[in-house]
Amino acid sequence: MAEPGVYDLKGLKCPLPVLRAKKRLAGMRPGTRLWLETTDPLASIDIPAFCSDEGHILIERESAGEGHRFLVERGG
């Protein structure tokens, strides 16, 4: 499997991180992975909910500096 890319969503406030992640993931093949990097505190709630609602898999989440990183696998 290829190394996951990184999508920098830092500095964006709700709902933009989810909206941009949705658009980026829509253009990817099912099974591919993408790191989402955010600084919005609400992303820790919004990104997992988005994954659940859209059928994507949240593989990993971690704190990163002033924000969070989420490894998401595109659902299919």
Q: How high is the pLDDT of residue 70? A: 98
Catalytic: which of 4, 10, 14, 58? 14
Q: Mind listing the pLDDT tens digit for each residue in 12-65?
A: 999 999 999 999 999 999 999 999 999 999 999 999 999 999 999 999 999 988
Dist. CA 38–CA 14, nearest whole Å? 10
Is residue 51 flagged as an active site residue? no
Instruction: State which fold the 5-73 domain adopts.
Output: Translation Initiation Factor IF3 (3.30.110)
Domain ranges of the chain: 5-73
What's this model's pTM, rounded to 2 decimal places? Answer: 0.94
